[in-house]
Amino acid sequence: MKKLIFALILTPLAAFAEGETVAINPPVSATTEEGLAAWGRIYEVASHPRCSNCHVGADGYPMWSGPSYGKTRRHGMNINAGESRVGAETVPCATCHYARFEGANDAPHMAPQVAMDWMLPPAEAEWFGKSSVEICNQLRDPERNGGRDFRALASHLDHDLILHWAWTPGGGREPAPYSLQEHVNDVLVWGVSGYPCEGDTQ
Ligand code: HEC
Ligand code: HEC
């Protein structure tokens, strides 16, 4: 009996550990300089193809770009996400981005797969081709960031499986820079320091 209870307690814990979760520990304080340095790294991540290929604007064209695609181009096969952002108006993203098995992202040039719906973010979260200052102002504006403060942004980053994919894309794709944990830490430092952006007038 004792053994059974032990097993019941340990099984969910083991599954949790395998899910590569991150720690969310905001610092007690952070200076504007530290915040700006953290922002610089956040921008390197946000502007990387593993993120910006999806974070496109109202025209709804996902991008193929980065080391594995050569020159930046629109998603092949005339794919458009439409207003639904999931391609409901034409060809749904899930037609190709749907597999749910271990190793589905190993082969090059396969449609990336995650165990949640593959779709574009809202058009207000447009990052593709935008400058550091533009994305910085967007990401601190609750009207354009899904109403999130830095803690909510950090926990969103952890809970979103697309992000776990962006750091372990497989198939020869270059992962987003730093690590998910380092990115979350930077978001926390940036938030605690007061969300500074380059060019702010103090
Ligand atoms: C497959 C497409 C896709 C990729 C790739 C992607 N995202 Fe997103 N992202 C989304 C969707 C969809 C949402 C909206 C989810 C929500 O609001 O619940 C979102 C929302 C966000 C938000 C919330 C704030 C906002 O502006 O709406 C952040 C922060 C974010 N993504 C960061 C990232 C980062 C960092 C990367 C790369 C490491 C990335 N995303 C890659 C689809 C993507
Ligand atoms: C007909 C199949 C198909 C459909 C439908 C489709 N995709 Fe893709 N997608 C692919 C393939 C294949 C690739 C990989 C191309 C390669 O690596 O050469 C890809 C790659 C991508 C990438 C690039 C990922 C990266 O950074 O490496 C994004 C972003 C993307 N798709 C978004 C979408 C969205 C959003 C939709 C729905 C609006 C969608 N796709 C619909 C087949 C499809």
pLDDT (tens place) for every residue of the chain, 202 residues total: 444 444 444 433 333 333 467 899 999 999 999 999 999 999 999 999 999 999 999 999 999 987 666 678 999 999 999 999 999 999 999 999 987 778 889 988 889 998 888 999 999 999 999 999 999 999 999 999 999 999 999 988 877 888 889 999 999 899 999 999 999 999 999 999 999 999 897 5
22 CB near ligand 1 (under 6 Å): no
Among 48, 93, 106, 163, residue to substitute to test ligand 2 (most atoms within 8 Å of Cβ): 93
For 135, counting Cβ atoms within 10 Å of its Cβ (0-12 exposed, 13-18 middle, 19+ buried), the class is buried
* Structure letter (DSSP) for residue 95: G
Closest ligand 1 atom to 118 CA: 1
Give me the pLDDT at residue 68, please.
Answer: 64
Closest ligand 1 atom to 53 CA: 5
Please report which ligand is nearest the Cα atom of 117.
1
User: What distance in Å separates the CA atoms of residue 135 and residue 141, rounded to the nearest whole number?
Assistant: 10
Tokens 């949790």 belong to which residue?
16
Closest ligand 2 atom to 169 CA: 27
pTM exceeds cut of 0.75: yes
User: What distance in Å separates the CA atoms of residue 117 and residue 188, rounded to the nearest whole number?
Assistant: 27
Rg of the chain, C-alpha, whole Å: 19
